[in-house]
Structure 1
Amino acid sequence: MKYFKQLMIEALYPGNGAVSAHDRNNGIAVFLFAILPGLSPNFNAFILLASMLWGAFSLATGRLALNLSRSDRLVAIGMSMYPLVMIASIVINPPYSEVPDWIFRLLPFFSIWLILPRMRQSPDGRLVPLFILGAGIGMIATFLLSLLQIAFLMDRPEGGTTNAALLGIIGILFGGIALLNLQSPKSMEQRIAILGYAAGLGCVLLSGTRSAWLVIPVHIVIFLWFFRKRGFHLSLRSLAITGSLLFVGLVALGSGPVLHRIQELQENLTSLESTDGQITSLSARFALYKGALSAISKDPLTGYGPQNRMTSVLAELPDNIRPQLSFTHVHNGFLTAGIDAGVFGIAALSLMLLTPVIGAWRKEAGPGRDLAIALALLLFSSYVITGSFGIMFNQKALDPIFAYMVALICTDRGSIRFAPVVSS
């Protein structure tokens, strides 16, 4: 309890004066943003929108200056290309009744211009540790909520999200972020790191998000690189014992949902040979991919606009299966971008996905750069792998998370050393 009391002091009362007031607000926003994705992702969108409005007001009134570095501007332009290409596609493809709604959905991708100057008002090295610690706490709370949902006989828990797959994506990303706190010298933060990662994996397994399972080995490679370079304070013996116990617990808890989803996949593969016209999760994806590729080949330059996305895809499919494909996207982020805005949409999406890696890579050498690269690779791999089999963007939870994390990755200088959130 003493640690958490000190944590509240560090988050709420970092100091006095005008700069510290900015720092306090930044700390609260970043900490809550890391805790909330699995509990109530709508609040993440609210935090981002509020930060954007306050940033715009501060820049307009001269309270803050748009003093972005050359690297910052490169990242911000890379982020902005995607929404600009999508807006152009929306404008040139009627009907126009949904134009304001789609433009509003794209606003988070412009946020780095407004929130990065605000984040820079905090001392270097303060916000990222808060975010990593908050990710661990949020994952533990999300996992407990998911267990409660399982107890009430939900087949696939959703946490505080509205979709089990979304819980899996958030679990794999924020669980991975939480584990980075193994480098903290504080024993409590190390425990939260291990429990947060285990909780994130628990959410992934219980949710049955198969695409998120594919991310796990990639994240392990990232951890091996990062901890081999930066090290951690936990003894190998303690890590082995703790990890083994948690692994056994996760296997015991998640084996049922995992086996069920594997069996379901096998049944779907078998049903592909059937000719009775029954649509399964797997056959629906194949049909959507086929329709999307056919539609893109007919209009590869401008696309059809997101407002015409599914209409264009379904027009390429047989009449008998169209009523069974009631989706809003084609379960592949790159194909979705191709339908929306052609090859320019795919190129803009690819550039935006690389912006966190570019922002981290261009930092000066040092521990801050290594941590930023680890965060960027966790973010990039989570979105690319899960988004290649499901939703990637144009989602009210995933869009703010990506945009906010890109700004956070750019915040610190590369030479900054990691410091625990509670130092005393």
Structure 2
Amino acid sequence: MKYLRQLKIAVLYPENGTGSTLDRNNRIAVFLFAVLPGLSPNFNSFILLGSMVWGLYCLAMGRLSLSLSKSDRLVATGMSVYPLVMIASIFVNPPYSEELDWIFRLLPFFAVWLVLPRMRQSPNGSLVPLFILGAGIGMIVTFLFSLLQIMFLMERAEAGTSNAALLGVIGVLFGGIALLNVQSPKSVEQRIAILGYAAGLGCVLLSGTRSAWLVIPIHIVIFLWYFRKHSFHLSLRSLAITGSLLFAGLIALGSGQILHRIEALQENMASLERSDGEVTSLSARFALYKGAVSAISKDPLTGYGPQNRMASVLAELPESIRPQLTYSHVHNGFLTAGIDAGIFGIAALSLMLATPVMGAWRKEAGPGRDLAIALALLLVSSYVITGSFGIMFNQKALDPIFAYLVALICVDRGSTGFVPVVRN
């Protein structure tokens, strides 16, 4: 309880000085953004939109200046290319349908221009540790929520996301971010880091999101790279014992869900060999991939526009299976971008995925640069791997998370050292 009181003070009552009110608002926004994704991702959209509107107001009124570095402008421009290409594809591919709605969905990708100047009003090195801590706390609460769902309500956990696959992406990403807090000298924050990571993996297992399982070994490689360069205050023996116990508990808890999803995959693969016309999750994906590749090959330059996405894909498939493919995307982010805007869409998507790593890599050498690179690699690997088998962007929860994290990766100098959230 003492630590919670200290955390409240650290978030709500930052050091006095010029810009302290804006600093406090930044801290509240960053902390809530890290805690809420698995509980109510719609609030992340509200936080990002509110930050963008307030940033625009402050820039217009002269309360903030758009003093972005060359690296910041490169990242912001790389983020902006994707929505601009998609907006262009909307208007060069009639018939038009809900174009304003599609444009509104793309607004989060312009966030770096408006959110980063606001974040820079907080002391250097103060927001990223707070976000990492919030990610751990949020994952612990989300896991408890997911566990109750599995025990009493659902076959696959969704927590507050209303989508099991979305929970899997959030769990593997925010659980990985939470583990970075093992480097904190505060024992309480170390425990939150380990429990937060275990809780994130628990969410992945309970959600049954198989594509998110593939991200875990990639994240382990990132952790090995990062922690070999930066010592942490937890003994290796204590970490090994704690990790082993948590891992055994997670396997015992999620074994039923793991076996169920593996059996479902085996059944889907077996159905591919039959010719009874049954459409399963796996066969639907293959059909969508085939239709998408065929459609892209017919119009590789401009695509069809997001408003015509599924109509163009389904037109390439037999009429017998079209009614059973009631999806809004083709379960592959790159193919979806190709359908929407052709090769320019795929190129713009690839550039946007590279911007977090570019922003982190271009920092001056130091611990802040290493932490930014770790965050960027965790973010990009989570989106690329899960997005290659499901949805990547054009989603009301995943888009704000990506944009906000890109701004957060840019905010600190490379020479900035890691400090605990609660210092006294």
Q: How does 1:44-193 map to 2 (within 5 A)?
A: 44-193=44-193
Question: Which letter does structure 2 place at the counterpart of 1:269?
Answer: M
What residue number does 1:11 align with?
A: 11
- 2:239 maps to 1:229: no
Counterpart of 1:22 in structure 2 is 22
Deviations 1:187-235 (A, max 9, x none): 0000000000000000000100000000000000000000000121100
Decide whether the 8 Å contact of 2:159 with 2:167 is kept in 1. yes
| CA distance in 1 between partners of 2:104 and 2:200 (Å) | 31
AA aligned to 1:246 is L
Instruction: Give secondary structure in 2 for the equivalent of 1:272.
Output: helix
Report what 1:247 is aligned to.
247
RMSD across aligned positions (CA): 0.6
Alpha-carbon separation, structure 1, partners of 2:94 and 2:142 = 42
Aligned to 2:256: 256
- What's the counterpart of residue 282 of structure 2? 282
In structure 1, the residue matched to 2:273 is 273
Runs of 4 or more, structure 1, over 3 Å off, are none
Shift of 1:103: 0.3
Code of the residue aligned with 1:180 in structure 2: it is L
Cα drift, residue 18 of structure 1: 4.0
- Aligned equivalents of 1:140, 1:308: Cα separation in 2: 40
Q: Are 2:97 and 2:307, in contact at CA under 8 Å, matched by a contact in 1? A: no
Alignment of structure 1 residues 286-297 onto 2, 5 Å:
286-297=286-297
One-letter amino acid of the counterpart of residue 368, structure 1? G
Paired with 1:400 and 1:151, the residues of 2 have a C-alpha distance of 31
Counterpart of 1:421 in structure 2 is 421
One-letter amino acid matched to 1:206 = L
Q: Superposed, which structure 2 residues align to 1:329-340 within 5 Å?
A: 329-340=329-340
Counterpart of 2:23 in structure 1: which amino acid? D
Question: 1:298-313, aligned counterparts within 5 Å?
Answer: 298-313=298-313
Deviations along 1:240-286, one digit per CA (max 9) or x if unpaired, are 11011101100100110001100110111110011111000000000
Shift of 1:153: 3.4
Q: Distance in 1 between matches of 2:327 and 2:107?
A: 23
Letter in 1 for 2:333: G
**1:33 corresponds to which residue?**
33
What residue in structure 1 maps to residue 2 of structure 2?
A: 2
Q: Which residue of 2 aligns with 1:208?
A: 208
Q: Which residue of 2 aligns with 1:319?
A: 319
Query: Partner residue of 2:378?
Result: 378
Deviations 1:272-305 (A, max 9, x none): 0111110000000000000000000000000000
Contact 2:211 / 2:389 at 8 angstroms: preserved in 1?
A: yes
> Aligned letter for 2:394?
N
Residue 238 (1) aligns with residue 234 (2):
no
Q: Encode CA deviations 1:122-175: one digit per residue, 9 max, x unaligned.
A: 011000000000000000000000011112131001000010000000000000
Q: Write the distance in 1 (CA, Å) between the matches of 2:99 and 2:264.
A: 39
Distance 1:365 1:18 in 2: 29
Say whether 1:194 aligns with 2:218: no
Number of residues of Structure 1 aligned to a counterpart in Structure 2: 424
Residue in 2 that maps onto 1:350: 350
Q: What TM-score, normalized by structure 1, do the two folds share?
A: 0.99
Q: Which amino acid aligns with 2:320?
A: N
Once the two structures are superposed, what CA deviation does each residue of 1:89-148 show, in whole Å capped at 9, x if it has no partner? Answer: 001111223110000000000010000000000011000000000000000000000011
- Which 10-residue stretch deviates more, 116-125 or 144-153? 144-153
Instruction: Quote the offset at 1:360 in angstroms.
Output: 0.2
Identity %: 82
Partner SS state of residue 111, structure 1: helix
Counterpart secondary structure, 2:19? helix
Amino acid at match of 1:207: S
Separation in 2 of the partners of 1:315 and 1:95?
A: 16
- AA in 2 matched with 1:271: S
* Distance across 2 between alignment mates of 1:100 and 1:113: 21
* TM-score, with length taken from structure 2: 0.99
Determine the C-alpha separation between the residues in 1 that align with 2:95 and 2:183. 53
What SS class does the counterpart of residue 393 from structure 1 fall into? coil
Could you list the per-position Cα deviations for residues 364-410 of structure 1 after superposition, in whole angstroms to 9, with x for gaps in the alignment? 00000000000000000000000000000000000000000000000
Structure 2, unpaired ranges of 5+: none
1:386-405 equivalences under 5 Å are 386-405=386-405
